[in-house]
Amino acid sequence: MKVISLINMKGGVGKTTLSVNVCDCLARRHNVKVLLVDVDPQFNATQCLMSGEDYVKYLKEDNDTILSVFDRNSRAMVSSVSGTTQRPERKLEDIKPYRVKKNFDLLPGNLELYRMEMTPGEGRENRLSKFLKEQEAKQAYDYVIIDTPPTPSVWMTSALLASNYYLIPVKPDPISFTGIDLLQGIIDNKKENYDLSIQCAGIVLTIVEENTRVYKQAVQNLDSGRWKTYRYAKSVPKRTEIARTQTNKGYILDLHDNESKFALTGIVAELIERTKDER
């Protein structure tokens, strides 16, 4: 089982779009079992895959979210039938993801992560890794994709601790590029502090307009520096239809846009190739 975190400290780079569509392509085109873990407190990936009505119903039925992994306390549950009861801590082996469709499951995000007090060093940052090891033991999934928050946090640390690889989506603009080296510095620090052997699976350019000077300069900058072997051959093109489809629970592979579909399938094929030698 390969665990891949999509990570960037800058928002608005298409990280969630790439996370959701990589999972869809793996499940649909490569017929492998995929789990998407939404560890971003903003839970954007979850909102792309579940309607608001379905999500509220899912929570009311006391189903599992990422909060089930990190919350070790019992919680008061209020029911109109049984009144107030205590829900015990979820055992990691009992946590059940949400079935999006064939071969594609989701561990939904939860806004309550913002309210949880969790500091590095208390051990809970390892619980996502332990949960995924339970899934690996069950041979439940071939790939796990983790959508991370766009800020350094204990949630980002948890994702890195659980992952074999990290993939960096980045817009082709100077501001976004400045953050790549800073991001790598943070990851290197985590690798040293936690003795991690996580590997970079590459950089995917997103929200791209290929005929612009900005894009061509970005490619030149990447290919002439330390990241020259990391850039993917295909990029995610800028399309308003991608965003529109996503808000309606659709996918890139459903678009009448061969360029976008070809780009996505190329990215996923390269991701498979770059991560084929699991640690």
Is residue 279 in some structural domain? no
Which pLDDT value is given to residue 115? 76
83-95: average pLDDT: 72
**What would the DSSP string read from start to end of 130-179?**
HHHHHHHHTT--SEEEEE--SS-SHHHHHHHHH-SEEEEEE-SSHHHHHH
Cα-trace Rg, the chain = 19
Q: How many domains does the chain have?
A: 1
77-101: average pLDDT: 71
**Crossing angle for the helix pair 174-194 and 154-162, nearest 10 degrees?**
70
Range of the domain at 160: 2-274
118-124: average pLDDT: 66
With 90 as the cut, is the pLDDT of residue 73 above it? no
Q: What is the CATH number of the domain that holds 182?
A: 3.40.50.300
Q: pLDDT by residue (tens digit) across 132-159?
A: 999 999 999 999 999 999 888 889 999 9
Is residue 56 in some structural domain? yes
Please check whether residue 108 is in contact with residue 55, taking contact to mean a CB–CB distance below 8 angstroms.
Answer: yes
Is residue 34 in some structural domain? yes
- Unique residue bearing structure tokens 């490569």: 30
Please check whether residue 33 is in contact with residue 140, taking contact to mean a CB–CB distance below 8 angstroms.
Answer: yes
Is residue 228 in some structural domain? yes
Neighbours of 101 (CB within 10 A): 11
Q: pLDDT by residue (tens digit) across 218-253?
A: 888 888 888 889 999 999 999 988 888 887 788 999
